[in-house]
Structure 1
């Protein structure tokens, strides 16, 4: 019988899942999701291969649980960051910066895009989690339109355009280049949704 880590079976299961999530993240960063096996992940996590199947029947099930975990945490953190911010412009600034600083699991690795190497069913599940983040941005835009701070616009069309802008480029790691790039992107997004540079509220 495998050794139980923690005072309860629930704590043991949570510990094993955390170890597997960390191993999956590291291996995807190094090699890409398609290049690693469940056995590789188990070995990197220090978990017996047969024990993994008590938690996940296959690699894609592990991936979905990992993304659920990461997305839930990110959405909760983003909601907390937005909780005391009422002005739509300032909410957009928060959203832009949080998205830029997010190291998304969809682009962790060398190799093919993650969504191109998983099954159709898993692609749909991945899309569900992306939509949680997109809905937060949509809510910000709708509130801005309702308040008159933003011009009326097709929110469903604008949201993917903004997110593509944020996820489609690499930002420098060194300062001051990183801050300059983030500031420029922030201003671009604000202007794109109808907030003119001359009337922007200081951050």
Structure 2
């Protein structure tokens, strides 16, 4: 097939997929997880049910695809936070603050959504990527003499993730900033 034809088909497929995932997210936010059906997704996305079934076999597959997209967006956000800061310690602070803010926002999700969405292979891969990402920042900070080097950076990455997971229960952005400061204090030389 001509390249233009393939590009057009690929663009159409991406548009249908994006519309489906956006519609699913909106339905979950509006009506809750248990009210989402393939019929409602198709209607909200403006596509036929038969078309929807060509892309996804069931609601759970749609939810997993949506969550996978969300996770990738979060990882991109953390990368952007890192890339906008200066010194290794500043880069780590920016990433930890972005992660804690995301954890706080995630705390607003219902437990039934988390139970369904957090059980995919994509979550395991993303978590491993996040740990390695933090470990690399910690190594960079230790090599620059800004962060401690007496504890394995992989252990410190786990410390950061667990400590900042507490942001899900925090009442304000100020509380998030304080938690990040306390977490960073445990990483300094």
TM bucket normalised to smaller: 0.7 to 0.9
Secondary structure, counterpart of 2:47 in structure 1:
coil
Q: How does 1:6-45 map to 2 (within 5 A)?
A: 8-33=8-33, 35-45=35-45
Measure, in 1, the Cα distance between the counterparts of 2:28 and 2:143: 42
Is 1:107–1:113's contact at 8 Å kept on the other side of the alignment? Answer: no
Q: How does 1:73-88 map to 2 (within 5 A)?
A: 73-88=73-88
Tell me the TM-score normalised to structure 1 length: 0.72
Measure, in 1, the Cα distance between the counterparts of 2:43 and 2:169: 32
Distance 1:118 1:185, change over 3 A: closer
What residue in structure 2 maps to residue 184 of structure 1?
Answer: 178
What residue in structure 1 maps to residue 169 of structure 2?
Answer: 170
Structure 1 segments unaligned to the other structure (5+ residues): 1-6, 196-203
Q: CA deviation at 1:188?
A: 0.8
The number of residues matched between the two structures is: 181
Distance 1:124 1:43, change over 3 A: same
Measure, in 1, the Cα distance between the counterparts of 2:27 and 2:64: 16
Is 2:141–2:147's contact at 8 Å kept on the other side of the alignment? Answer: yes
What residue in structure 1 maps to residue 4 of structure 2?
Answer: none
Structure 2 segments unaligned to the other structure (5+ residues): 1-6
Tell me the TM-score normalised to structure 2 length: 0.76
Q: CA deviation at 1:98?
A: 1.3
What residue in structure 2 maps to residue 153 of structure 1?
Answer: 151
